[in-house]
Structure 1
Amino acid sequence: MPTRTRFEATARRGYAILILLLAVGMAFSLRRFSSVADAQIEWLSAKERNITLVERLRWTAELIVSHGRGYLVSGNRELLDEAEDSKARFRENIRALRAESLSPTALQLVTDVEEAAGRFILVQRELLAARERTEDAGLIARRFDEELRPLRRELYRSLERLVDHKEFAIEAAYAGARAERAELALRLYSLLGLLASTGLGVAWYFTRRLGGLYQQVREAREAARRAVTARDDLLGIVAHDLRNPLSAITLKAARLRRGADSEQVRQQAESIENVAKRMEQLIRTMLDAATLEASKFSVTPAPCAVDDLLRDTLELFGPLAESKRVRLEQSVNAPGLVIFAERGRVLQVLSNLVGNALKFTPQGGRVTLSVDREGGMARFAVADTGPGIPREDLTSIFERFWKVEAPGERGTGLGLYIAKGIVDAHGGRIWVESEVGRGARFYITLPLVDPAAHRAPAAAEAPALSAEGDPRAGG
C-alpha cells in the first residue's frame, strides 16, 4: 500500500506538471499571437490611411486641374468656385499626411508634391486672372499649353512617385507581416514539440512504472492462485484423511453410549459423538466453500416434493425450538408443489436459514417457514421476530466469513455464502429483507418441475447443474 500511495502521488505530480506546461505554453502562444496580430493590424491600418490620403490627394489634384481648365475654356464661375474648394481639400490632405508617422523618403515625396502643386496653382491663378480680363479663349488656351501643361505633368509625376512609394511600402508591410507570422509559427511549433517530447517522456516513465507494477500484480496473482490450489489440495487431503477416522470415532462413541453401564459413561460417549459430528460438519462446510470459490460446485437435481422438505425441516428443528421456547410454524399457501432440485442441498439451505432464525430469535418469539408459488418458481420464506439486520449489512450478508455472533453461539460465517451458492447452482435466487427491531425475512426461489419433463420415463438420468449457472436460471 505505501508503494501504491507513493506511485499515485508521483503520477499526480507528473501529470500536474505536464498540464501546467501545456497551459503555460498555450497561454504564451495565445498572448503572443494576440500581440502580434494587434501590432500588425495597427501598422497596416496606418499604411492604409496613408494610401487613402495619397489617393485623396491625387483626386483633389485632378479636380484642381479639371475645374481650372473648365473655367479657362467656358468662363463658368461655378467651376472657379469648385477649383478653389479642391485647393482647400488638397491643402487639408497635405496636412493630414504630414501628421502621419512617415519615413524620411515619404516626407520628401510629400514635399515634392506640395511644391509641384504650389507652382501649378500659382501659374493657374495667373491664367485665371487673365481669363477674367480678356475674352480671347484662344490666347488663354495657348498659354495653358505653353505654361500650365508642363507643370501639370510635373505634379502628376510627383503624385505617382508618392503613390508608388506607398504601394511599395504596403507590399513590404504585408511581406514583413508574413515573415513575422512564419517566425512566430516556427517558435510555437518548437514549443509544442518540446511539450510533446516532455509528455512522451512522462508517459514513458509512467508506462515503465505501470509495467513493473503489472508484473508485480501478476506475480502476486500467480502466487495467490498457487496458494489457493495448495489450500484446496490440503482441504481435499484433510477431508479424505479425517472423514474415515471421524466416522470411526462417531460409530464407536455411539456403540459406547448404547452399551454404557453408567450414566456418566453414557454422557461422555454422547459428548464425544457430538464433537465428532461437529467436526465432520465443519469439514463439509470448508469443502463446500472451497468448491464454490473454485467455481466447481455442482448439484444433481431431481423432482422433489416441497411438502416433504418442510416436514423434514420442522422435525429436525422442532426440539431445538421447543428448548428455546420459540414457536416454529409453517405456512403452505400452495400445497403439492414439486421442485427440480437436489433434495439434500435444499435441506441444507433451509436448515441454515431456520437454524439462524432460531439462533437470533429470543424466547417467546416466532419463526415461520412458508412456501408460495411465483410463476415457474417455488418461493420459500423464513421469517423471524428477532432483532433484525442493519441496513448497511444487507449487501454483504451473503459474503464469505460474514457473521454476527449470537450470545453463546459461534459459527464459521460460511453458511449463507454456501446457501447462496447452492441456490445459484439450481438457477434460483436468494435475498433478505429486514429492519432493525422488526425481524428478518429470507427468501429463496427454486424452479418447479416442468410438467413435460415430469412425465418423462423414471429411468431418465437427471442432468447436473453447476454453480456457474443454469440456462433456465431466472428470478
Structure 2
Amino acid sequence: MTTSSSGTGGAQPVPSGFAVSERTAHLRAETALFMRDHVLSLVSHDLRGPLNAIHSWAYVLERKLDANDPNAQRAVTGIRSGVDQQVKLLETIVDATRAETRSLALAYAPFPLHPLLDETTEEVRSGLARSRSVNIAVDSQLATEQLNGDRERLAAALWVMLAFAVEASAEGAAVTLAARADSGTWHAAVTYQSNETALNDPALPHVLEPFARKQAGEPREAKRIAWVFALCKRVAEAHGGSFEQSDASGDDAATLALRVPLSATAPK
C-alpha cells in the first residue's frame, strides 16, 4: 500500500510566540539527553588514546633520565600523576554521567508500524513543519506489518529524523519519509534537500538545540554521525538494528536511514 500526504499548503508566515506541544517538548529533551551522553562518549574515547600514549612515553622518558636527578624524576612523576588524574575524571564524571543512556531499557511489545508513521509525522507537521512551510510526504509500502520492540523509543528516533530534516529544509521544500518491510526488517528513510541557512536561521521556528544544529553542518569523520542523531543510533542499535546518515552529494538529497528487525531483540 502506497500513500502520500501533505502537511502544508502555500507559504505561511512564521507565527509569533511559536510554541510546542508537551510531547514535542518531551522529545526535544530526550534528544538533548542522548546528544549530551553521545558527546561525553566521544570525549571519553578520544581522550583515552592520547592519555595512554603520554603515560607510556613517560615510562620511556624515565628510563632515559638520570635516576639521581631529583628534578627530572619529579617531572616524570608529575606527568604520570596528571595522566592518572585525567583518567579518573573520565571514569568518575564522564562515564558515570552517560550511564543513563548507555544501558537503554526497552519495553518490548508487538505494535503495527503504519500508525506509528502517521502519528509521528503528524506530530512533526503540527509542531514544526506547518510553521516552516515545509511539506512532509509519506511513501509507505507497509500494510499490516508489526514490529516487536519499544514503540515509544522508535517513535522518538523517527521524530528526530523528521524534525531535523524539516529544520534543514528551506521554505516550500519537501521532506519525504519512505517506509517498507522486507526480509524481516523495517526500513525507514527520510530524504531532504539540506539548506544550512534554513537550519541555523534564528528568525525561523526551531525545536532542536542551536549548538546541535550548528555542529550538524560541520565536517564529520568517516562513519560518525552528527551529535543530534545520537538518540536514533542508540535506539536502533538497542533493537539490533542500525542508523545511517548520508550527506547530500551534488544534486542528490541527504538521507537518514533507520533499519530495525521486525522481531527485534537486544544485541548480545
Deviation of residue 418 (structure 1)? 2.0
Of 275, 290, 299, the match for 2:106: 299
Equivalent position of 1:163 in the other structure: none
Distance 1:446 1:354, change over 3 A: same
Equivalent position of 2:176 in the other structure: 368
Q: Give the Cα–Cα distance (whole angstroms) in 1 for the partners of residues 80 and 109 of structure 2.
A: 47
Equivalent position of 1:316 in the other structure: 123
- The answer to whether 1:448 aligns with 2:262 is yes
Equivalent position of 2:245 in the other structure: 432
Instruction: List runs of 5+ in structure 2 lacking aligned partners.
Output: 1-49, 213-226
Deviation of residue 417 (structure 1)? 1.3
Aligned length: 187
Deviation of residue 328 (structure 1)? 0.9
Deviation of residue 203 (structure 1)? 7.8
2:163 partner letter: G
Structure 1 or 2: larger helix share? 1
Q: Give the Cα–Cα distance (whole angstroms) in 1 for the partners of residues 143 and 94 of structure 2.
A: 45
Say whether the 8 Å CA contact 2:248–2:255 is kept in structure 1.
no
Q: Give the Cα–Cα distance (whole angstroms) in 2 for the partners of residues 207 and 433 of structure 1.
A: 51
Task: Give the fraction of aligned pairs with identical amino acids, expressed as a percent.
Answer: 18
Distance 1:201 1:345, change over 3 A: closer
Deviation of residue 210 (structure 1)? 6.4
Of 189, 192, 201, the match for 1:407: 201
- The answer to whether 1:378 aligns with 2:186 is yes
Listed as ranges, the matches of 1:388-407 within 5 Å are 406-407=200-201
2:200 partner letter: A
Q: Give the Cα–Cα distance (whole angstroms) in 2 for the partners of residues 352 and 365 of structure 1.
A: 18
- The answer to whether 1:354 aligns with 2:162 is yes
Q: Give the Cα–Cα distance (whole angstroms) in 2 for the partners of residues 347 and 444 of structure 1.
A: 11
TM-score (norm 2): 0.58
Listed as ranges, the matches of 1:100-249 within 5 Å are 202=64, 213-228=79-94, 232=97
Deviations 1:331-371 (A, max 9, x none): 11243221221011111011111011111111221111111
Of 139, 145, 149, the match for 1:341: 149
**Aligned-pair RMSD on alpha carbons?**
3.6
1:315 partner letter: E
Q: Give the Cα–Cα distance (whole angstroms) in 1 for the partners of residues 63 and 121 of structure 2.
A: 71
Deviation of residue 219 (structure 1)? 2.3
Distance 1:210 1:340, change over 3 A: farther
In terms of Rg, which structure is larger? 1
Q: Give the Cα–Cα distance (whole angstroms) in 1 for the partners of residues 172 and 88 of structure 2.
A: 53
Instruction: List runs of 5+ in structure 1 lacking aligned partners.
Output: 16-199, 233-288, 389-403, 451-462
Listed as ranges, the matches of 1:63-74 within 5 Å are none
Say whether the 8 Å CA contact 1:379–1:445 is kept in structure 2.
yes
Distance 1:313 1:216, change over 3 A: same
1:353 partner letter: M
Distance 1:215 1:376, change over 3 A: farther
Deviation of residue 324 (structure 1)? 2.3
Task: Work out which structure has the larger RCO, using CA pairs closer than 8 Å and 6 or more positions apart in sequence.
Answer: 2
Equivalent position of 1:246 in the other structure: none
Deviation of residue 419 (structure 1)? 2.0
